[in-house]
């Protein structure tokens, strides 16, 4: 059976739903050529930060040694510190080079949280050839004096100001920490987003009890982390007028299939490619193709959103009712039958 893996995301026609998420390896043309050859459909460049655009310089915490001690030699695809792009000029040069060297769409990424002059950089990214722009709004709102409403208004103003200076398709990457996430997503769409990327994965600090220090912790994802974005993609699909991109925790073809069934148009991967290299892409695409043929799905379109909240047999499973059901089903490990 012939299966059609093509999908549409942000108005772009993609050869399949696998996209490399923003991460340092998308700053390396040689690595991008390898993942393109392995079949990836598009990639998101690492974010250029508001602060970098404002100041033109920024020091980046080295993550290399931390990553190496954690994941060892398996991380052959892990980028070095030189692979971080730290100035606006270098960013535009990298974007132009990527456009010349690769045939898949290139999505640029800006990280910011305050509206201001820096947002004009979005127009330069468009001139340099970006096929789309991802606005990564990553912030920890720690001021007890600032309300949720103020934060949301600021975010919306930022989306509007980026939308105003560029006509390329715009995706907004968000964290999950909003009180009324469904409502906020709809307002982000109304403010000008064509897509939502769910979710930003915050690096959480740890405490070193020997050195009495707070330490940044770079930890690659694992599949258990995909449950939160999976739920929200299923809830929002068909309800908010945007394309949905899944990011976090996709480490196998099964994970990709789950996200597609929930309603994602594309699945973005970073950790799995950093750990396993381009083979992860070719293997996942082969397995996706086989699964679709076996299940008699002729296209991605025919399965996308099949288990979103509105279509699944038990819509309450995405809500509070599921919490009670799950607790009632819990069987302490000591009482579990081994054949269960
Ligand atoms: C080392 C590293 C750097 C990253 N840099 C960025 C970035 O610049 N911008 C961004 O939006 N996300 C960034 N991310 C987050 C990824 O794009 C992705 O959303 C996240 O890793 C979850 O996907 P995964 O489970 O496939 O790793 C980074 C992730 C890693 C591991």
Hey, whose CA ends up nearest to atom 5 of ligand 1? 23
Ligand 1: which of 21, 84, 137, 221 to mutate, most ligand atoms within 8 Å of CB? 21
Ordered by where they begin, the domains of the chain are 7-310 (3.20.20.70)
The pTM assigned to this predicted structure is 0.89
Q: Tokens 């070719």 sit at which residue?
A: 282
In the predicted model, is pLDDT for residue 56 greater than 80?
no
What pLDDT is recorded for position 217?
75
What pLDDT is recorded for position 182?
96
Mean pLDDT over 133-141 rounds to: 90
What pLDDT is recorded for position 42?
98
Q: Tokens 């089903």 sit at which residue?
A: 329
Q: Pinpoint the alpha helices (H) of the chain.
A: 29-37, 50-55, 64-71, 88-101, 121-127, 148-165, 181-190, 227-236, 253-262, 271-276, 279-294, 300-303, 320-329
Map residue 67 onto helix, strand or coil.
Answer: helix
- Closest alpha carbon to 170 in 181, 161, 178, 182: 161
| 220 Cα–ligand 1 center, Å | 9
On average, the pLDDT of the chain sits at 88
- Phi/psi at 265 (nearest 5 deg)? -80, -30
Assess whether the C-beta atom of 19 lies below 6 angstroms from ligand 1: no
Q: Tokens 């279509």 sit at which residue?
A: 311
What pLDDT is recorded for position 59?
40
The contacts found for 74-80 with CB under 8 angstroms, 24 or more apart, are 74/275, 75/274, 75/275, 76/277, 77/25, 77/31, 77/273, 77/274, 77/275, 77/276, 77/277, 77/278, 78/25, 78/274, 79/23, 79/24, 79/25, 79/27, 79/28, 79/31, 79/274
Mean pLDDT over 40-62 rounds to: 76
pLDDT tens per residue, range 179-232: 999 999 999 999 999 999 999 988 788 899 999 998 877 789 999 999 999 999
Angle, CA 89 vertex, CA 199 and CA 267 arms, to 5°: 25
Assess whether the C-beta atom of 22 lies below 6 angstroms from ligand 1: yes
Report d(CA 124, CA 52) in Å as an integer. Answer: 15
| 19 Cα–ligand 1 center, Å | 12
Report d(CA 10, CA 135) in Å as an integer. Answer: 13
Hey, whose CA ends up nearest to atom 6 of ligand 1? 23
Question: Is the peptide bond preceding residue 199 cis, with omega within 30 degrees of 0?
Answer: yes
Assess whether the C-beta atom of 246 lies below 6 angstroms from ligand 1: no
In the predicted model, is pLDDT for residue 113 greater than 90?
no
Q: 57 or 332: whose pLDDT is higher?
A: 332
> How distant, in Å, are the alpha carbons of 94, 138, 231, 313 from that of 199?
25, 10, 11, 25
Report d(CA 250, CA 64) in Å as an integer. Answer: 22
Q: In the beta sheet, which residues pair with residue 135? A: 110, 172
């Amino acid at each position: 059976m012939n299966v059609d893996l093509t999908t549409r995301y942000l108005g772009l026609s993609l050869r399949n739903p696998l996209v490399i998420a923003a991460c340092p390896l998308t700053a390396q043309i040689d690595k991008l050529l390898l993942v393109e050859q392995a079949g990836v459909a598009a990639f998101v460049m690492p974010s250029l930060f508001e602060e970098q655009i404002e100041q033109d310089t920024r020091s980046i915490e080295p993550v290399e040694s931390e990553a190496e001690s954690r994941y060892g030699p398996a991380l052959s695809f892990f980028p070095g510190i030189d692979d971080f792009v730290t100035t606006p000029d270098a960013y535009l040069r990298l974007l132009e080079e990527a456009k010349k060297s690769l045939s898949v769409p290139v999505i640029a990424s800006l990280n910011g949280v305050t509206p201001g002059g820096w947002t004009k950089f979005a127009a330069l990214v468009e001139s340099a050839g970006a096929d789309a722009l991802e606005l990564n709004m990553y912030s920890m709102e720690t001021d007890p004096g600032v309300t949720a409403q103020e934060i949301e208004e600021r975010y919306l103003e930022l989306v509007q100001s980026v939308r105003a200076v560029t006509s390329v398709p715009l995706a907004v990457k968000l964290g999950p920490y909003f009180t009324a996430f469904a409502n906020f997503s709809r307002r982000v769409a109304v403010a000008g987003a064509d897509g939502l990327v769910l979710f930003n994965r915050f690096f959480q600090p740890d405490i070193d009890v020997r050195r009495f220090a707070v330490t940044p912790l770079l930890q690659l994802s694992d599949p258990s982390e995909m449950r939160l974005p999976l739920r929200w993609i299923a809830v929002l699909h068909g309800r908010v007028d945007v394309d949905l991109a899944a990011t976090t925790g996709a480490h196998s073809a099964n994970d990709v299939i789950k996200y597609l069934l929930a309603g994602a148009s594309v699945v973005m991967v970073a950790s799995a490619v950093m750990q396993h290299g381009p083979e992860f892409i070719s293997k996942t695409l082969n397995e996706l193709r086989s699964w679709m043929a076996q299940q008699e799905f002729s296209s991605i379109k025919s399965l996308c959103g099949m288990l979103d909240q509105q279509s699944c047999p038990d819509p309450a499973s995405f809500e509070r009712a599921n919490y009670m059901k799950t607790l009632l089903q819990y069987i302490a490990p000591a009482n579990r039958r081994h054949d269960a």
